[in-house]
Amino acid sequence: MLILIAGLILFLAPHSVSIVNEPWRNRMVDRLGEMPWQGIYSVVALAGFILIVWGYGLARHNPAVIYTPPGAMRHIAWLLMLPVFPLLIAAYVPGRIRNATKHPMLLATILWAAAHLLANGTLPDLLLFGSFLIWAIADRLSMTHRIQRPVPGFPLTRFNDIIAIVIGLGFYFAFLFGLHEWLFGAALAR
């Protein structure tokens, strides 16, 4: 469990710098330069991600069950997951979806975490998905008080929303019909 917690700290800490102290982040970028800052940020976040995957895998072998969700919650989770992949794609494909949601990746993270908390009730699940849910909500709320940096992405075309939806739904159905089990070892009960 400590590996999972260390991974969450390493991954979420750099992602939280702008939430808790954006002036410090900006001073560091001025001192180091944007690319070196992004490099350090990426290395720390990648190390955290690796520890999250490893730690979550280890913690799932003998998890403490905190609650047992009713079977119907899995179907609600599937419904909540439906817009997640289109929103993730829309974060990098400018269009009406990105404009309407303002921060589609954060909304996708909130829906992803909430869906998994509805369907899973072990301690590792609460730590992983609960941490991401709290972080995404905090980040989304902080966005209203800070200047937004541009997100790199594809050029604007009139087909971008269709592209985000089609590719996103393709990922959704791939996960629903086997990719989730292949990647994470957890079959989606139907």
pLDDT in tens, 135-149: 999 999 998 887 777
For 39, the enclosing helix (H) or strand (E) is helix 34-59
Residues 119 and 161 in one domain: yes
Q: Taking the model in full, what pTM does it have?
A: 0.90
Residues 81 and 37 in one domain: no
Residues 80 and 162 in one domain: yes
pLDDT (0 to 100) of residue 157: 78
Q: What is the average per-residue pLDDT within 177-184?
A: 84
- For the ranges 21-25, 75-79, 130-134, the maximum mean pLDDT occurs at 130-134
Tell me how crowded residue 62 is: count the other CB atoms within 10 A of its CB. 9
d(CA 14, CA 167): 29
- 190 pLDDT above the threshold of 70: no
Query: Which of 62, 77, 103 is the last residue in one of the domains?
Result: 62
Phi, psi of 164 (to 5 degrees): -60, -40
pLDDT (0 to 100) of residue 110: 98
Spatial contact of 103 and 143, defined as CB atoms under 8 Å apart: yes
Give CA angle at 44 (42, 48), nearest 5°: 110
| pLDDT band (50, 70, 90) for residue 22 | confident
Q: Which domain holds residue 138?
A: 65-190
